[in-house]
């Protein structure tokens, strides 16, 4: 019998707190998660910040590209996701990667997703190198992994920080493409979107010595339906709900 999957707090406890904020990550820690997923972007002045979109419009009170703003300009904004949460979290700010790593250190492992649009032609001083520097500075190389849809980003991470694990995310891909991507990027984890899951994919991934995770699963019934795939982890916006369900199943 396969072990129960780990619940990955997708952007933190994002159903109940503004995503990718310290409030969201703190709430996920209070729930007892072991893995937290977060997204990183690069500011105009080269700081690694934690925000999902390439633009500020959806989750903050600002507008325009993250890469067109300095850290100071971004920090002046509210990251309280006003469209969804009103003014309840108006004091939240876009955190730096360093701040999030400090919060999570020794409490949960972090999956750092390098967004596809942040990957540039800069090998030596791009988002990959800067994120690696922050991880090493925080002393948490053994407590994080890099994720990306972008194979180039993962290949750079492999060259620049071979000691830090990597995971390849997929949205739509054939089984062979998943395995090829994992080989080329040297990953030990693949994260296909849940509609991609199949018994063939499960078996091929296992035969290749890889771990299999998926996203986004918010309902216990759906999690139960995914049981045949022997998942290592599931990304969820409602980690507390899934943790409660898994605790009941494990009794």
Active-site annotation, residues: 10, 52
CA atoms within 13 A on the CB side of 223: 26
Helix or strand holding residue 83 (H, E): helix 82-85
Q: What does each C-alpha distance from 190 to 29, 171, 179, 217 come to in angstroms? A: 24, 11, 8, 16
CA–CA distance, 196 with 217 (Å, rounded to integer): 13
The residues, any chain, with a CB within 8 Å of residue 191's CB and separated by 6 or more, are 147, 167, 168, 169, 170, 212, 213, 214, 215, 235
Please return the burial class of 176, using the count of CB atoms within 10 Å of its CB with bins 0-12, 13-18 and 19+.
Answer: exposed
């Amino acid at each position: 019998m396969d072990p129960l999957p780990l619940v990955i707090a997708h952007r933190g406890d994002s159903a109940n707190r503004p995503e990718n904020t310290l409030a969201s990550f703190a709430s996920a820690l209070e729930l007892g998660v072991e893995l937290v997923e977060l997204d990183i972007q690069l500011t105009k002045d080269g700081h690694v910040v934690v925000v999902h979109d390439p633009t500020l419009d959806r989750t903050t009170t600002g507008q325009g590209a993250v890469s067109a703003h300095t850290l100071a300009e971004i920090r002046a904004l509210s990251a309280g996701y006003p469209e969804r949460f009103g003014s309840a979290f108006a004091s939240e700010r876009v955190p730096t990667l360093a701040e999030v790593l400090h919060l999570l250190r020794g409490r949960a492992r972090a999956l750092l997703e390098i967004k596809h649009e942040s990957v540039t032609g800069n090998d030596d001083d791009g988002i990959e190198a800067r994120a690696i520097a922050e991880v090493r500075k925080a002393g948490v190389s053994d407590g994080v992994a890099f994720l990306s849809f972008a194979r180039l980003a993962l290949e750079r991470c492999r060259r620049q920080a071979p000691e830090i694990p990597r995971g390849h995310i997929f949205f739509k891909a054939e089984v062979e493409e998943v395995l090829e991507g994992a080989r080329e990027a040297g990953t030990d984890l693949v994260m296909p979107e849940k509609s991609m899951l199949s018994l063939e994919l499960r078996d091929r991934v296992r035969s290749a010595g890889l771990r299999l995770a998926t996203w986004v699963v918010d309902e216990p019934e759906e999690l139960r339906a995914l049981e045949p795939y022997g998942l290592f982890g599931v990304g969820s916006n409602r980690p507390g709900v899934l943790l409660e369900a898994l605790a009941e199943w494990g009794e």
